[in-house]
Amino acid sequence: MTKPYLIAIDLDGTLLKDDKTVSHYTKNILTQAMNEGHHVVISTGRPFRGSERYYHELNLSTPIINFNGAFIHHPRQSDWGIYHSPLELDTAQNIVKTCLDFNVKNVIAEVLDDMYLHYEDEFITNSFMIEPSRMNIGNLHQSLKHNPTSILIRPHDHQVKELRALLKAQHAEVIDHRVWAAPYNIIEVVRSGLNKAVGLKRVAETLDVPQDRIIAFGDEDNDLEMIEYAGYGIAMGNAIPELKNIANGVTKTNEEDGIAHFLTDLLSLKESV
């Protein structure tokens, strides 16, 4: 048997089609890969609540990487460990103040699967998968009492570049930040030094898979470190140019089953009837 590979898959724009579903073909090929002894791991910027349905839909039995590496756990093995690396509360509150002084549309703090919104925001509440009981709306300086996993900033479009420069100037030593793709245009802030490669390295070590047998698929700038780290860092056909430039290869788009086509060739898989 071929030595097992670790297959790391981003969700949005990678595994998921534009309608946020997984195609039958891709799901079938991933199942074949697991039946052959390979490991499939979700590595996403989403919180667990936003990725849990896909974890179970693919019938995974591996750890999962959420919040771009800030939260890693094993949904089926409680004794595997929980790795949570949140921002310090003081740092988070300073960032909140910076953003509110900048007059952004909203600032949101996520503490694992709980969400805190500074302002009521129909766009956020309609876009994020969260139970009403886990959503808190009100002054973050008063409501946020725990170290947040991430801070999400919803700026006006013309503010993005200037605000990111300001965050870098004021908080560069303690935070990293990225911008979500349209239609969100949200700036996500996490603790410095965290990225998907950090989470992937931890998972690979527990599964005893060396770096040269890691295959990673992604499409956006939060996938850069993971694609660079993996032995096979593969950009989707719809990926940003910066990711394609550093990738080992480019596959078809998320609408064209890019993951399945690449794995079929590399691992000699075929769709079951």
Instruction: Tell me the pLDDT of the chain averaged across its residues.
Output: 92
| Rounded distance between C-alpha atoms, residue 130 and residue 112, angstroms | 11
Residue range 149-172: average pLDDT? 87
- The dihedral over CA atoms of 210, 216, 221, 225, expressed in degrees to the nearest 10, equals 10
Kindly report, residue by residue over 234-254, the tens digit of the pLDDT: 999 999 999 999 999 999 999
**C-beta pairs of 94-99 under 8 Å, 24+ apart in sequence:** 94/170, 94/171, 95/151, 95/153, 95/167, 95/171, 95/175, 95/189, 96/140, 96/141, 96/144, 96/151, 97/141, 98/166, 98/167, 98/170, 98/171, 99/153, 99/155, 99/163
Predicted local distance difference test score (pLDDT) of residue 271: 65
The helix/strand count (H/E) of the chain reads as 10, 14
Predicted local distance difference test score (pLDDT) of residue 203: 97
Residue range 181-196: average pLDDT? 84
- Residue 62 DSSP code: S
pLDDT over 90 at 180, yes or no: no
Predicted local distance difference test score (pLDDT) of residue 130: 75
Kindly report, residue by residue over 106-155, the tens digit of the pLDDT: 999 999 989 999 998 888 877 776 788 888 999 999 999 999 999 999 99
Which of 141-145, 161-165, 181-185, 214-218 has the least mean pLDDT? 181-185
Percent of the chain at pLDDT exceeding 70? 97
Confidence of residue 272 (pLDDT cuts 50, 70, 90): low
| Rounded distance between C-alpha atoms, residue 75 and residue 135, angstroms | 22
Predicted local distance difference test score (pLDDT) of residue 124: 82
Predicted local distance difference test score (pLDDT) of residue 9: 98
Asked if 10 is an active-site residue, the reply is yes
| Rounded distance between C-alpha atoms, residue 133 and residue 273, angstroms | 43
Single-letter residue type at 38: H
> For residue 133, what are its two tokens?
């009981």
Kindly report, residue by residue over 44-88, the tens digit of the pLDDT: 998 999 899 999 999 999 999 999 999 999 999 999 999 999 999
Catalytic residue (one of 10, 12, 219, 223): 10
pLDDT over 70 at 273, yes or no: no
Predicted local distance difference test score (pLDDT) of residue 59: 98
